[in-house]
Amino acid sequence: STQWIKAIARADVPDEDVIAVQAGGREIALYGVDGEVYATSNLCTHGNARLCDGFLEGHEIECPLHQGRFDVRDGRALCSPLRENVATYPVRIEDGMVFVAL
């Protein structure tokens, strides 16, 4: 069953950038894009790298290790060497806090 986990204050999600949080025992990357907040797993599906250390451009996060790119809206792997999409999580904003559905 889906659980909404309180992750971080909305004000702490950077604009046009990424921040990592721990929520429900998982490492989640939160992205601020055009006033929206998106959440994915923080771990690249290709290797041992954290997406929070990558480079966000528009809706695309580039992995710091081999420059694979994911769409943060749906987790889609956009280029090689990625083969697997990354998990995404629904986001809700309430009372100035970001909640993530795990």
Residues that bind ligand FES (CB under 6 A): 44, 46-47, 49, 63, 65-66, 68, 81-82
Cβ distance to ligand FES smaller for residue 5 or 72:
72
Cβ distance to ligand FES smaller for residue 12 or 53:
53
CB of residue 42 to ligand FES, shortest distance in Å? 11
Cβ distance to ligand FES smaller for residue 50 or 73:
50
Cα–chain-centroid distance for residue 12? 14
